[in-house]
Each structure stands twice: as C-alpha cells, then as structure tokens.
Structure 1
Amino acid sequence: MRALLTLILVGLLVLTLLAMLRGWRYRARRQSAVMPGFFAPPDTLTADLLPPLRGVYVGTVHAGDWHDRIAVGDIGYRAEATVRLTAEGLLVERVGASPLWIPAQTVRGARAARGLAGKAMGIKGVFVVTWALDENWLLDSGFRGDDRSVYPEWEAALQSIAPAPTPDHEGNSAR
C-alpha cells in the first residue's frame, strides 16, 4: 500500500512539473508572437560611468506588474551577472545566458524595490530599471547586487542618461 501511494505522489509531482513547463513554453510563444526583439549590445562601449556591479539578474517583467515575467528566449531565467553602465546604456552580462542590452534612450527610470519576478528580496533588495522596448512594451528588469549600498548612485546615474520627459498633448511632463 505504501509503495502505491508513493508512486501516485511521484506521478502527481511529475504531472505538475510537466504542466508548469507547458505553461512557461506557452507564455514564451504567446509573448514572442507580439513582442519586438530585444536590443543587441553594441560591438564597443565607452568607459563605464560607475564601477561594474556584480550580483544576480532576477528577471524582466511588464512594468508595474512584478509577477508578469517575460519568458521570451532566455530573458526569463535568473543568472549570475555583472551590470555595466556606459553613456550608451546598461549592459547586463549574464553567466550562461545572452546579455541584456538596455540603450540609454529607452531608460524611463530606476529604483530600489522589495522584489521582482515573483521574488521578494527584502526592503530595497532589488535594483529595478524601467525601460521601453518600444512604445507598447514598458518593462522592468531587476538585479540584486552583491553591494546594495551603491543603488542610490546607480539610480542617479541612470536618471542622468535617461532622455528628458516629453510633454504630452496637455503640456504635462510624461515619460
């Protein structure tokens, strides 16, 4: 009887894992059908504006929805990473995954947050960059740095390279 219950439990676990994998693949197919491609990093970059920040790339989500993870390609996978900030933009060099390039003109803001992509990491534990893939895709990419004390410097530097807000049709400043 015990062996039968164990087999049933293992079978349920396998079915659950397969359903999760199928859901992830469906999300990736659905997003890739409507989402533009990610930016390719330039061949050469100017000097870093700040010392590189090492840590963990947490993921990328739709801006404002810290649970709606982007699953296209390998962007949805966590990875050890180093973040570099230059005048041209932000380069996230991920170990075992493709780099993520965020051009300076697409940056819309930066902040320290409690979590991202379904991962809560303490008060101001994740450094989040809000950026526009195009006019329809506003994204948040998160990074947990080994040294979180530098987040204010990074936030200020990213705000300085971000394009100035453009006035909307009523004269209000909007990003």
Structure 2
Amino acid sequence: MDLRLKPQDVVVALKLVALSAAVASPWTQPELARSLHLSASEVNHGLKRLAACHLFNPRERRIIRSGLQEFLVSGLRYVFPAQLGLFGEGMPTSLGASVLAERLRLGEDDQVVWPLAPGAGDGAHVRGRLLAPLYRSVPLAAADDPVLHEYLALVDALRVGRARERAMAKDELVKRLAS
C-alpha cells in the first residue's frame, strides 16, 4: 500500500477532530465512511496513511493534533494546491463560509464556493469563485456536519487565501485544534 497522504485522508483527519469535540462515544470505520460519503476501504487506508505520517495514533484512535496543525498550516497548500476557477453557484467555503465571513466584508468577487449540483446540500448556495473541493465527497459531508464544514473552510482559506486571510484561518485553526 502506498503510504503517501491523499486528499481524502485530510478529510478523515478533520472529521475525527470534529467528532472529538462533539461526540463522547467511540466511532467506527463504517460510521465514519457513511458520514464522509466515502467507502469503508478509503477510510481504512486513510487511517493507515495518517498513522504512517504520524498524524493518527491507532492505539488511542485519535488524531495527533500538533502534527496535523503543523501539516495543515505549513504544508497543505503545497502538497494539495488549489486554484480558483470561474464564477458559479455552490456551497460557501474558505472566506465565504460563516467561520471567516463574519470577520470580513466580502463582495461577490471575494466569495469562494464548492461547485454543487442545484438542489443538493442544505440550500445555502451562493454565487462565487469556484474551488474544487479537497475531495469529491467534501460538499456532501460538509452539508451533513456544520463543524466539519468549518474545518474544511479554514483549510481552504489556507490553500487559496491571501496573506491576511491565511493568517486569520491559521489563528482560528490553531485555536480549535488546541481545545
């Protein structure tokens, strides 16, 4: 098995962080797969890759937050680069998501969205610059889990934001991962 991280592994890691804040009960791989709209084998292989990269402790079944923080803040935008596309309708992410939009005054040109089929998701569609999600199932998983949506939006801000916006996303992410 190839032990290099894949984009869906980052999504799995962020979901586990989101779950640790919200759920006291243990999770199972099939439940995790369903909630992320991934296959069980994708989750299983993702956890193995995260463990190989010292981002997941399989014995304690938890994310190593300090390592994840370092990777997200310093390496993610280089390992999984992103480019903004044309304008379209979709689900808000990055600067357009509520976690950062509350602090910024954004015009339509500043909105960033994941492309999403009309009628899909929670109905919070806006017009903005299209950004391919980190992994294809991200919009569906984010629509089901607002906390995961916030983490993914912060990660997207680190990937495509300007210096000020990346700094805001970093500060918020560091604060959340420390708790």
Q: Shared topology, TM-score over 0.5?
A: no
Higher relative contact order, structure no. (Cα contacts within 8 Å, ≥ 6 residues apart): 2
Structure with greater strand share of residues: 1
